[in-house]
Chain A
Amino acid sequence: MTIAAHCLSLSKIYGDGDTRVTALDAVDVEITAQQFTAIMGPSGSGKTTLMHCLAGLDSVSSGQVWIGDTDLSQLSDKDLTRLRRDSVGFVFQAFNLVPTLTALENITLPMDIAGRKPDQEWLDTVITTVGLGDRLKHRPSELSGGQQQRVACARALASRPTIVFADEPTGNLDSKSGAEVLGFLRKSVDEFGQTIVMVTHDPNAASYADRVIFLADGHVVDEMFNPTSASVLERMKAFDSKRA
């Protein structure tokens, strides 16, 4: 099993003195390639921070992060940008799309920026899978929230990145739209061998993953393979009672 990304004793500290917050405290995580990994934990536990650090969007306070064989701490802003463009895909909770571009243009944006021609066959596959065939020429404002998130997913996958990060991609969606998006992510792992890391609060969403990593107070506290919503829910209740 190859490792798509990993970090060693990764710490992230915000602020100074009184306002000092240790968002991540010496975290070690390995993300296995061609797997769907979910990150869960209570609010403020450091999920988003971990994801941003793994993706090279944020700097780390100490420790190291690799994507594939690349040590992110060695990269300049320029190289990091290129890495994000070519090797990482993103899906944010909201505001994922450039409002002036059509759905299709949004999907091909990273490749367009790179000046690369998208692999048409792959693109077609992604678009078909995401199920937006007749909506490609529409602007984001003309799409529903679920459709927008699916476009964002398609964008994240279109350039065949080493790894895709998604921060609560279904947070703003109703259960049906959420299911569509999650189904798509699952499919991209199963059928196309993608690697996906998803932050979520929702046990049901986590049940789509192959593995769940549990964070609390900046520490990895547990992990679970082949989760179901019931098992995840149970585990989370256990945390809550421990904390209480």
Chain B
Amino acid sequence: MFRAALRSLGQHKVRLLLTLLAVVVGVAFVAGTFIFTDSLKQSFDALFNAPQPDVTVSADSAFATGGQGGGPGSGAEQVPTVPASLLPSVASVNGVAAAYGVVTSTGALVLGKNGKPVGTAGPPARGISWLPDSSINSISLVAGRAPTGPHEVALLEATSTLADAGVGDSVAIETPAGHLTATVVGLVSRGIGGSDGGTLTVFDVPTAQKQMLGNTDTFTSIAVKADPGVDQDVLARRIAATLPAHTKVQTGAQRSADIANRLQTAFGFINTFLLAFALIALFVAIFLIFNTFSMLVAQRTRELALLRAVGASRGQVRQSVLAEAAILGVIAAAVGVLGGIVVSQGLRLLLGVFGANLPAAPLVIQPRTIIVSLILGVGITLISAYIPARRAARVPPIAAMRDDVSLPSKNLRIRGIIGIVLVLIAVLTAVSATRHLDDNLRATQLVGLSAICALTGVIALAPILGRWFIGLFGAPLRRHAIGNLAVENGRRNPRRTAATATALAIGLALMTAIGVLAASTKASVASVVDDTIGADYIILGANFQPFRPDVYQAVKNTPGTSTVTFTRQLPLSVGDSQGVLTGIESGKFQKVFSLTMDSGSADNLLPGDAIVDSDTANKLGLTLGQNVPVDYVNGPGFLILRGTYKPAGPITGWIADIQTLTDAGGRDLDSAVYIRSASGADPAAVRASLDQELAAFPAVKLQDQASLKDQINQQFDRVFGFIYALLALAVIVAFLGIINTLALSVFERRREVGLLRAVGTSRAQIRRMVVIESILIALFGALVGIALGLIYGILFRKVLESVGITQLAIPTGQLTWFIILAVVGGVVAALWPAFTASRLDVLKAIATD
């Protein structure tokens, strides 16, 4: 039986190749995900082995990781510091070999040759000091030398490439303290935690203090090297004993563990995320494999019947089919693991395209990767082949003697009933979800459950829907014989058409739902910008970094403006929850930004007064007039709650007068400048004057409302683009499925094609017939997918309304593209089968053996 299985595999090479490809793609993606994340992890492990201080002394604040934060739009960069005066006392502790002041901060924008900051929005632009002791410095020089003096820097290799400035070149840098032109004297490689794709500029210690912190009497931390033989923990305890409050002492091991934890969480998430898409692709592959085996079995009905007639048991027939599947699965899984290497590299590239710059990593293929891939590959193939195998076993021996045999197949009624029941459940859960909109989690779960029921329901109903759909959409095509033949071909095997189309439907349903959410998110952002921002122009830091107050000074008296005001931001934490405090110029701010108050008032905010968005107030259980204890970067403080506002718009969290921030030790760096034109002013003239004033400040960007929306949208586009790229995989597998189905159908119908050719059908007409069938299948899949995706996109949007997606937008343009792509994909998928069909030998096809 095993030999029979092998031989049978050999006889259907091309078709099996396609099936193989589907499993390979799925498995390769799973393997690739594992290889990718394992490799990354390994590269981080390598980072931990890099030299680092035995003990680090820093400010004890909720923001000890200050340099790591600063996602897009937060702008809340504030560095916890320790007094420089601590350095001698730390150095004198018994067991300390050496102690160094260290500066690590953000906001050192390296300007490219075009005068614009290099790098992408998001990851911070770091400026740090050079730690002269290489045995504890995690950053190492790869070229040139360390910087000394106020006009020398070293750059991260990648940053140097971006800025097109190598050793010996001069480079312009915007720092919190001002504009600096320096010579690049060295190139460095990344250290721990510097792996997020941001830029890195290295100064000597005094320059770093001046440029990054604006003074020379603080450091962000003190790095300690222990005497040989002194235990890190012991030394850390000794040092801690000599230090004042609000300082934190960490050993190298603790820091490593901290960073490891953070990375583990981050990459655990990526891993899960990528695996989810891999499984979607594999799920789609099931349909393809199922179809292939069904057809292979159908084609071999006679052969199988003959086996039965000469005495093979049902079990043996079933086993022979399953053995074929197993062989196929093993081969596919093996190739898939190899493909995984390619995929892992592809993922790196893809993540690179979408903004993340990952460290070079060795290729790590763990046994787990291979085992999981094998199990998945073989498992999926066996599962998909099981039903065809069972059906094969039911072939009656007499089928060997009959001319036209069809496999025993249950009629569609049971499937129809199951499908209708599932769809009903889907409807009920969806309705129940809309009743529980206040309970976000519950509603999301209900919609998710409903989506799964609807999907399986539609899969069950697909053969019935497919016949109906193709009949309906094909009706106008029936006027011509070729169209009529194509429509009939599409309808004649509803299960096969359905399995092929649903594979595509799954991919497109997900893409559509994501599309609806993406469009709705963008529309919501736009409406928030419209509703809240009264300013005509906003100046923001390039890459959302804070910028010097000179900018405000330069534009505040621009003719044609009525209000110009700035904001600053400072991170703070209330209890366990971290937030941002935005400092405003009371009175002026309300003219450029409309806050809808839920309670209290935002007028006349005195130093120490603050308002907060209602969500935060509710979460923390705050009441008006309450004295709220908060922690700033450099110590504790109080805020008196004067009001709560509806959370909306780019500003959320705490808002207070600018004086409050200054009192709390905020840096003199602005997060935004809002500008409102005077009524009757010529917008072009105002814009021109602003542009002129800002020419001297390359690190900021003048936005109007439209470009602001664009900029925010770009952030979303990146995320959604990444998801689309991953979902495209499932769609590609689905199109492989269409190719496969058509190829097998053509093979099955080769006699019929021969007959058609004999009675005068031209090759072009045969091709057209196959292409039309393909388009009909693809359209059916696409429309079912889009319909499902629309319904669940809309439902999920409804559920997510409470988290800010207030607007519903249907991306009609995009959906039209999906349909066009489905048609084009249908044509492309049909090319090869159509070509084969048109080249069939007329005489062989009609030979009567």
Interface of A toward B, CB cutoff 8 Å = 52, 57-58, 77-78, 81-86, 88, 90, 92-101, 105, 109-110, 112-115, 141, 155
Contacts and interface: CB of A to CB of B under 8 A. Distances in A.
Given A100-B485, A110-B760, 10 more contacts: A52-B843, A81-B760, A85-B761, A90-B759, A92-B755, A100-B488, A101-B484, A112-B480, A113-B756, A113-B765
A95 B751 contact: yes
B649 to A, nearest CB: 61
B492 A95 contact: no
Most central of A83, A90, A98 by chain B CB within 10 Å:
A98
Contact of A101 (B488, B757, B758, B760): B488
A195 to B, nearest CB: 17
Contacts of A83: 760
Question: Nearest 7 pairs between A and B by C-beta?
Answer: A85-B760, A112-B481, A100-B488, A84-B760, A81-B762, A113-B481, A110-B759
A188 B610 CA distance: 102
21 contacts: A58-B843, A81-B763, A84-B758, A84-B760, A85-B759, A88-B760, A90-B758, A90-B759, A92-B848, A95-B846, A95-B848, A98-B485, A99-B492, A100-B488, A100-B492, A105-B484, A112-B481, A113-B482, A113-B759, A113-B761, A115-B481
A184 to B, nearest CB: 18
Interface string B743-780: 00000000110011111111101000000000000000
A112 B484 contact: yes
A84 B846 contact: no
B437 to A, nearest CB: 50
Contacts of B765: 113
A128 to B, nearest CB: 22
B846 A92 contact: yes
A57 B843 contact: yes
B489 interface: yes
Given A82-B760, A109-B481, A98 B843 contact: no
Contacts of B757: 81
Interface in B833-849: 842-843, 846, 848
Given A52-B843, A113-B765, A57 B484 contact: no
Interface in B683-698: none
A17 to B, nearest CB: 22
A114 B409 CA distance: 37
Contacts of A77: 763
Contacts of A109: 481, 756, 759
A94 B848 CA distance: 7
Contacts of A99: 492, 752
Contact of A95 (B755, B759, B763, B843): B755
Nearest to A96: B755
A47 to B, nearest CB: 14
A100 B756 CA distance: 12
A238 B521 CA distance: 92
B257 to A, nearest CB: 69
Contacts of B751: 95
A57 B489 CA distance: 25
Contacts of B848: 92-95
A190 B481 CA distance: 31
A88 B759 CA distance: 8
Given A58-B843, A94-B848, A95-B846, A113 B488 contact: no
Contacts of B482: 113
Given A105-B484, A112-B481, A98 B760 contact: no
A93 B763 CA distance: 24
Contacts of B842: 57
A115 B480 contact: yes
A61 to B, nearest CB: 15
A95 B484 CA distance: 20
A86 B762 contact: no
Interface in B230-285: none
Interface in B472-513: 480-482, 484-485, 488-489, 491-492
A83 B752 CA distance: 19
Contacts of A141: 404
A2 B484 CA distance: 38
A70 to B, nearest CB: 15
A138 B485 CA distance: 16
Given A58-B843, A109-B481, A112-B481, A81 B755 contact: no
Contacts of A113: 481-482, 756, 759-761, 765
B477 to A, nearest CB: 13
A105 B756 CA distance: 13
Contacts of B758: 57, 84, 90, 92
A86 B760 contact: yes
A93 to B, nearest CB: 6
Best-surrounded residue of A81, A86, A92, A141 (most CB of chain B within 10 A): A81
Nearest to A81: B762
Max chain B CB contacts within 10 Å: which of A78, A93, A96, A112? A112
A83 B492 CA distance: 30
B760 to A, nearest CB: 2
A94 B488 CA distance: 21
Contacts of B485: 98, 100-101
A78 B766 CA distance: 13
A84 B762 CA distance: 10
Interface in B782-808: none
Nearest to A98: B752
A84 B403 CA distance: 28
B442 to A, nearest CB: 50
B639 to A, nearest CB: 77
Contacts of A95: 751-752, 755, 846, 848
B471 to A, nearest CB: 12
A27 to B, nearest CB: 18
B849 to A, nearest CB: 10
B734 to A, nearest CB: 25
A173 to B, nearest CB: 14
Contacts of B760: 81-86, 88, 110, 113-114
Interface string B56-73: 000000000000000000
Contacts of A115: 480-481
A101 B484 CA distance: 9
Contacts of A112: 480-481, 484
A98 B763 contact: no
A86 B757 CA distance: 13
Contacts of A114: 760
A90 B758 CA distance: 8
B483 to A, nearest CB: 10
A94 B847 CA distance: 9
Contacts of A81: 757, 760-763
Contact of A82 (B481, B755, B762): B762
Contacts of A57: 758, 842-843
Nearest to B487: A100
A238 B259 CA distance: 101
A155 B843 CA distance: 19
Contact of A100 (B489, B763, B843): B489
A112 B488 CA distance: 15
A101 B486 CA distance: 11
A153 to B, nearest CB: 13
A78 B763 CA distance: 8
A99 B758 CA distance: 16
A81 B761 CA distance: 7
Q: Chain A CB within 10 Å — which of B488, B751, B758, B842 has the most? A: B758
Contacts of A78: 762-763
Nearest to B751: A95
Most buried by A among B480, B482, B492, B755: B755
A114 B465 CA distance: 32
Contacts of B491: 100
A117 B488 CA distance: 21
